[in-house]
Amino acid sequence: MENQKTNNKESKEDSDILVSTPEQDELISLLTKRFPSVPDININHLQEDIELIIESKNIKSTCRLLKDSSELNFNYLECISLVDYEEKLEAVYHLTSFKLKQSLVIKTSISVENPEIDSVIDIWRAADWFEREAHDLFGVTFLGHPNLEPLLLFEGFEGYPGRKNFPINDYKEW
Amino acid sequence: MISLIIFYIISALVLIGSAGVIFSRNIVYASFSLLLALLGTAGIFVLLLAEFLAIVQILIYGGAVVTVILFALMLTKIDDFRSLSNINYWPISAFLTLLALIVLIIGIYQTKIDTQNLGLVKFSKFSNDLFEYWGIPFEIASLVLLVALIGAIVILKDRGNDS
Amino acid sequence: MSIADLFNYFSYVSGLFLSLTIIVLLLVWLERKVLARIQMRMGPMRVGFHGALQPIADAIKLISKEDILPAWADKLVYWFAPIVVFVPAFLLWVTIPFGKNMVIRSLDLGLFFIVAISVLSVLGLIMAGWGSANKYAVLGGLRAAGQLMSYEIPLIMAILTIAILSQSLNLVEIVDKQSQIPNIFIQPLGLVLFFIAGLAELGRTPFDIHHAESEVVGGPFVEYSGAHWSVFFLAEYINTFTISILTVLLFLGGWHWPNIPFSGNLQTILSVFVVLIKTILVVSVIFWIRATYPRLRIDQLMSFGWKMLIPMAFINVTITACIIYYDELPLWILPILSVILLILSAVIIQRKFSKNIINTVQVISAKSLLKEKSEVDIN
Amino acid sequence: MEINKTINSDNVDLMINMGPQHPSTHGVFRLLLNIDGERIIDVKPHIGYLHRGSEKLCENERYAQVVTLFDRLDYVANLNMELGFCLAVESLMELDIPDRASYIRVILCELNRIASHLLFYGTYGLDVGAMTPVLYAFREREKIQGFFESITGARMMHNYFRIGGIKEELPDDFNNRLSLLLDEVSQGIEECDMLLSKNEMFLARTKNVGIISASDAVDFGVSGPNLRASGIARDIRVSKPYSIYDRFDYGIPVASSGDCWDRYYVRLEEIRQSIKIIKQAMSQMEDGPILAKVRRIARPPKGEIYFRTESPRGDFGVYLVSDGSDKPYRVKVRAPSFANLQSLQYLLKGAYIADAVTILGSIDIIMGEVDR
């Protein structure tokens, strides 16, 4: 049963890449031209967003390139989400290009032991609070962010409540 | 008789107010004491049947001057005024005040005004006097005020350009 | 002056206090009802007939509330401020006639007295603002000082035109001069100037900047509660009534127009009613404006005062003085000039605003947007 | 202590704390204003007073239970929030929603958009000092809330959308009552428009105040009516049509200058367009099932999705990571108000204190969504 399901899903993914829209093909070709070294360019078959999986040290240069190149011009940072996979943290950047009317997902892993990543606040000012929130809830340090004060939590809050190992039931607030 | 009692009450108020201006450590209290003294003076003017002067006193000193003083005080840090109490010039000011007092006393004794037959001056007569006999001084005074007004605007405009 | 005189004065003062309190209660009820009608509500309905006793219930509630003294407040200044606001508001009524022969003391310098005393209430607001040790209150106090002092000038100028026109500063004489034509027909501009400046003096919408709820949370009154707050409240409503009755006395003919045919006591009583009815109409206009208009910003208020009202008031004074001085000029020139000035100022304001009225919003069809390859930037 | 750390206190004229208890901060929001006279020199927003850890809570609830948590995000546009989450789960499960359910969802969501914009209209009137608009707006909003109550059983926290459809069939007289409601509301909108939009003082307070250019708005991640007021015709309903929004013919109001008045009027115009959508949906709706065939306990397959919907406040994104169990592995909400509010720091510099209120009001934030 379990196997069957995963098989199904894989086959679906394959088929979806085949039926991708011409606009997406265009974007993929643009991306491959821009980032010849990046190994993973996927299409999330559900939302039809193209995924770009990169190393965390490349985040700033990649984002800079994505925003500044005239044919891509990903000028709109929608969201920065963090997911705690226990063995690693994953930062997910959702971008949109108003020019191409296309969205792009950048994924990068951050180690749990040393959660550090470059800030993209110079590229999009929208990153400011998203990064502060991620710093609050997941304890990720965004290097180069001018002001990583607690945003949602109060000063002096201990622990990172977004992470999976935060004791949600045993936590005593008062 | 009653007017005499009222006079003493008002004079007491004026004195209290004046003393408050000098002795109050709190600069805002001092300005409120000043207001008390000025309003009391207006009351004395009323007792002397000088209604016009009384009203002018209230309008200009009570309303405008004290308001402006308070306005200025609120915009500055009160702490800046704490050091004012340490200034050692008080003998000079005491001497000058005494001198002024002597001059005033001499002046009051020298001028001979009939204090027995006081009467209310009709306002129309007063204004006629002001604009006919004292027309030129009046205009000069208004000119001075105009100059002050323009000067204030110029100073303000300079500051406005800075910020 | 004797003891009997003193007793007399005391009875006058207490009578005045009582009648003003009743008027304030009436105005509170009226305001709530007028606002409610405009906003399609009922207003107070429970206490008494159509909520007529609601103001009394409010008053009882206010008096029985706790008086809070903020910990950092300047106690003396804080407690004195309501009195400093209230006393001038009350003192004005010494010389304001309610009706024919219904005045405590018909001062020769009546109008001048009113102007001088009304300035003092600014001090109370500043004291309240400073004494509360609250930044919003200080901000409100400063706003009040700036606003009230700037709008004093057009108010005085508007009063001055009437004084020139009537050749008197005595309110009773001014009203009697209007037995044929009320001043509104001679000085329409003066009425508008006086009313607008009066609104600003009161701090009523659209000039309720110093106690703006949504900005400085009540301004100087933010820390006050209970009885002391109600004193401010009382003063505010007395002032509203004062400005309205002054509008009636100075411009709308007071107890003349329509002339009361009777004589003696009946005429006196009827004259009070005529004045009261006119005043309540003016008050209702103030409430109506309160229900309709948003609030101006402080800089807009100031520039409106200094660039619009004051020049207009000065021009008005000059024109009136010239026409009165040169007797041979017919009086009907004055209303014509006044109306022309009024139209002129309306045109200036209109031109200032007309560039704002352009509607910048356009609706783009979703179907056409769907076809676009990129997001449309209409700039 | 904290104040000294953030703002250099040497040249501070006056520092005021606007909020968390201030009449016009629209919830528990705190602004540290550093002012010089009436001018704002610097501003520092503080949020988080309403942080309930919704995203973390979602990880410990079943999918069906999460809907109730989403109700409480944007608490004046609850159904739009529910729709965002339900659509995300449904497209993760690749479910086909019955047509009737989709139509009902769209009708209710657009009604909720109207209610939300009406709330904005009323409170915006209060922000600029006019007290009557709020009563006019709430009169209309109250009718919509009553209508919701008759359908979902609740005035605000509906919990009406289910994964795969909706909870219950509509009442019998739905169509009649809806058309009556629409007539009343559209008349009410015109009244509201007449009352405030062209008022000279309102124009003076809002025109050319708080201008944000299109490029700045995009940079700050501003979305929804605020972005459209700056001149970019972006609406998720059109850019990436979800649910059945591609079946309707309606307009997207776009303004050019990006000032407060534009933000205000774009919303007012959106109400009219929403009425248009509802009318079309009403005429297109047919009988049929209202719930797809789903298991009682939804178990989406392993995977992840970022689903965008257009909430009344802008791009509402739900990032959902599923590990195949009956509880979501991670839910991240991209709240439009959260991103919109970031632009406040930029907008307020150099403005008057009174403008702070006007600008904050025109951004139209809901703290439930900002803090989550």
Whether the CB-CB separation of D119 and D141 falls below 8 Å is answered with: yes
Please give the residue range of the domain that contains residue C18.
9-64
Same domain, C13 and C103: no
Please say if the pLDDT value at position D141 is more than 80: yes
The whole-number average pLDDT for the span B41-50 is 85
- The DSSP symbol for C355 reads T
Which residue from D221, D307, D341 is facing A76, i.e. has the nearest CB?
D221
Domain-wise residue ranges, chain B? 2-120, 121-163
- The DSSP symbol for A76 reads E
Instruction: Compute the distance between CA of residue C109 and CA of residue C173 in angstroms, rounded to an integer.
Output: 11
Mean pLDDT in chain C? Answer: 84
Highest mean pLDDT out of A155-169, B62-76, C24-38: C24-38
Residue C204: strand, helix, or coil? coil
The whole-number average pLDDT for the span D8-34 is 76
If you search the block for the tokens 């005021």, which residue do you land on? D16
If you search the block for the tokens 């108020």, which residue do you land on? B13
> Do the Cβ atoms of A153 and D48 come within 8 Å?
yes
> Do the Cβ atoms of D47 and A152 come within 8 Å?
yes
The whole-number average pLDDT for the span C319-345 is 82
> Do the Cβ atoms of D47 and A168 come within 8 Å?
no
> Do the Cβ atoms of C373 and A98 come within 8 Å?
no
Whether the CB-CB separation of D113 and D272 falls below 8 Å is answered with: no
| Cβ-based neighbours of A154, under 8 Å, separated by 6 or more | D48
List, in sequence order, every beta strand (DSSP E) within C206-261: none
Whether the CB-CB separation of D319 and D59 falls below 8 Å is answered with: no
List phi, psi (to 5°) of D140: -70, -40
Contacts of D48 in chain A (CB under 8 A): 150-154
When scoring C83, C113, C125, C306 by the number of chain B Cβ atoms within 10 A, the one with the most, hence best to mutate, is C113
Do B and A count as touching (3 or more CB pairs closer than 8 A)? no
CA-CA-CA-CA dihedral for C292, C297, C302, C307, to nearest 10? -70
- pLDDT of amino acid B57: 86
Is C371 contained in some domain? no
Q: How confident is the model at residue C1 (pLDDT cuts 50, 70, 90)?
A: low
- pLDDT of amino acid D4: 40
Long-range contacts made by residues B5-8, C-beta under 8 angstroms, separation at least 24?
B6/B43, B6/B47, B7/B44, B7/B47
Cα of D222 to nearest chain A Cα, Å: 8
Contacts of D130 in chain C (CB under 8 A): 292-295
- pLDDT of amino acid A10: 43
Could you give the C-alpha distances from A140 to A62, D59, D329, D334, in angstroms and in order? 19, 20, 19, 18
- pLDDT of amino acid D349: 84
Contact of C372 with chain A, judged by CB distance below 8 Å, is answered with yes
Partners of D165 in the β-ladder: D162, D291
> Do the Cβ atoms of A94 and D91 come within 8 Å?
no
For domain A22-143, give the CATH superfamily: NADH:ubiquinone oxidoreductase Nqo5 subunit (3.30.460.80)
Residue C83 CB coordination number (10 Å): 13
- CA–CA–CA angle C19, C23, C25 (5° rounding): 120
What does the pLDDT look like over A83-115, one tens digit per residue?
888 888 888 888 888 887 888 888 888 888 888
Whether the CB-CB separation of D343 and D45 falls below 8 Å is answered with: no
Whether the CB-CB separation of A46 and D87 falls below 8 Å is answered with: no
What does the pLDDT look like over B115-134, one tens digit per residue?
666 677 777 787 888 888 88
Query: Domain B2-120 classified CATH 2.40.160.40?
Result: no
What does the pLDDT look like over D238-263, one tens digit per residue?
888 888 888 888 888 888 888 888 89
Mean pLDDT in chain D? Answer: 85
Contact of A78 with chain D, judged by CB distance below 8 Å, is answered with yes
List phi, psi (to 5°) of C82: -60, -35
Contacts of D128 in chain C (CB under 8 A): 214, 294-295
When scoring D49, D51, D315 by the number of chain A Cβ atoms within 10 A, the one with the most, hence best to mutate, is D51
Instruction: Identify the CA nearest to D275 among candidates C5, C363, A161, C91.
Output: C363
Whether the CB-CB separation of A155 and A148 falls below 8 Å is answered with: no
Long-range contacts made by residues A88-92, C-beta under 8 angstroms, separation at least 24?
A88/A112, A89/A115, A89/A138, A89/A140, A91/A56, A91/A59, A91/A117, A91/A134, A91/A140, A92/D306, A92/D319, A92/D332
Is C351 contained in some domain? no
User: What single-letter amino acid sits at C135?
Assistant: K
The whole-number average pLDDT for the span C268-296 is 88
Which residue from D219, D232, D301 is facing A125, i.e. has the nearest CB?
D219
What does the pLDDT look like over C209-219, one tens digit per residue?
888 878 888 88
- pLDDT of amino acid A20: 59
Smallest CA–CA distance from A99 into chain C, residue: C374
The whole-number average pLDDT for the span D142-157 is 88
Higher pLDDT among residues A170 and C256, named by residue: C256
Do A and C count as touching (3 or more CB pairs closer than 8 A)? yes
Residue C258: strand, helix, or coil? coil
Same domain, C227 and C246: yes
Q: How confident is the model at residue B27 (pLDDT cuts 50, 70, 90)?
A: confident
Instruction: Compute the distance between CA of residue B63 and CA of residue B56 in angstroms, rounded to an integer.
Output: 10
What does the pLDDT look like over D153-210, one tens digit per residue?
888 888 888 888 888 888 888 888 888 999 999 898 988 888 888 888 888 888 888 8
Contacts of C372 in chain A (CB under 8 A): 101
Element housing D233 (H / E): strand D232-233
Cα of C138 to nearest chain B Cα, Å: 8
Partners of D306 in the β-ladder: D319
- pLDDT of amino acid B100: 94
C106-128 per-residue burial string, b: 16 or more CB within 10 A, e: under 16: ebbbbbbbbbbbbbbbbbbbbbb
- pLDDT of amino acid D2: 41
Into how many domains does chain C fold? 2
Whether the CB-CB separation of D349 and D41 falls below 8 Å is answered with: yes
> Do the Cβ atoms of C215 and D353 come within 8 Å?
yes
Q: How confident is the model at residue D8 (pLDDT cuts 50, 70, 90)?
A: very low
D292-324 per-residue burial string, b: 16 or more CB within 10 A, e: under 16: bebeeebebbebbbbbbbbbbbbbbbbbbbbee
- pLDDT of amino acid A110: 87
Cα of C334 to nearest chain D Cα, Å: 30
Instruction: Compute the distance between CA of residue A104 and CA of residue A27 in angstroms, rounded to an integer.
Output: 10
Instruction: Compute the distance between CA of residue C308 and CA of residue C196 in angstroms, rounded to an integer.
Output: 11
List phi, psi (to 5°) of A56: -65, -25
Chain C neighbors (3+ CB pairs < 8 Å)? A, B, D
Count the helix, strand and coil residues of chain B and give each as a percent rounded to the nearest 5.
85, 0, 15
Is C304 contained in some domain? yes
Contacts of C375 in chain A (CB under 8 A): 98-99, 101
- pLDDT of amino acid A14: 45
Please say if the pLDDT value at position B103 is more than 90: yes
Residue D41 CB coordination number (10 Å): 19
List, in order of start, the domains of chain D with CATH numbers: 11-371 (1.10.645.10)
Compute the count of residue pairs across chains A and D with CB atoms less than 8 Å apart: 97
Contacts of B29 in chain C (CB under 8 A): 76-77
> Do the Cβ atoms of A124 and D342 come within 8 Å?
no
Same domain, C216 and C111: yes
Answer left, alpha or beta for residue B87, where phi above 0 means left and psi between -120 and 50 means alpha: beta
Which residue from A94, A124, A162 is facing D317, i.e. has the nearest CB?
A94
> Do the Cβ atoms of D218 and A98 come within 8 Å?
yes
Instruction: Compute the distance between CA of residue D67 and CA of residue B23 in angstroms, rounded to an integer.
Output: 70
> Do the Cβ atoms of D251 and C299 come within 8 Å?
no
Longest dimension (CA), chain A: 57
In a 10 Å sphere around its CB, with 0-12 CB exposed, 13-18 middle and 19+ buried, how is residue B142 labelled? Answer: exposed
What does the pLDDT look like over D82-98, one tens digit per residue?
898 988 888 888 888 88
Instruction: Compute the distance between CA of residue B11 and CA of residue B43 in angstroms, rounded to an integer.
Output: 9
- pLDDT of amino acid A90: 87
- pLDDT of amino acid B102: 93
Could you tell me the two tokens for D363? Answer: 């951004």
Cα of C39 to nearest chain B Cα, Å: 39
Whether the CB-CB separation of D219 and D225 falls below 8 Å is answered with: no
Q: Pick the range with the lowest mean pLDDT from D19-33, D104-118, D356-370.
A: D19-33
Chain B neighbors (3+ CB pairs < 8 Å)? C
If you search the block for the tokens 């914009």, which residue do you land on? D117
| Cβ-based neighbours of D121, under 8 Å, separated by 6 or more | D133, D137, D192, D196, D264, D267, D268
Please say if the pLDDT value at position A38 is more than 80: no
Q: Pick the range with the lowest mean pLDDT from A51-60, C52-61, D321-330.
A: A51-60
Residue C20 CB coordination number (10 Å): 18
Domain-wise residue ranges, chain A? 22-143
Torsion D17-D23-D27-D28 (CA) sign = positive
- pLDDT of amino acid B101: 92
Whether the CB-CB separation of B85 and B41 falls below 8 Å is answered with: no
Is C358 contained in some domain? no
The whole-number average pLDDT for the span A55-61 is 80
- pLDDT of amino acid B79: 57
Torsion C341-C346-C350-C353 (CA) sign = positive
Whether the CB-CB separation of C81 and C124 falls below 8 Å is answered with: yes
Which residue from D22, D238, D256 is facing C366, i.e. has the nearest CB?
D238
C340-375 per-residue burial string, b: 16 or more CB within 10 A, e: under 16: ebbeebeeeeeeeeeeeeeebbebbebeebeeeeeb
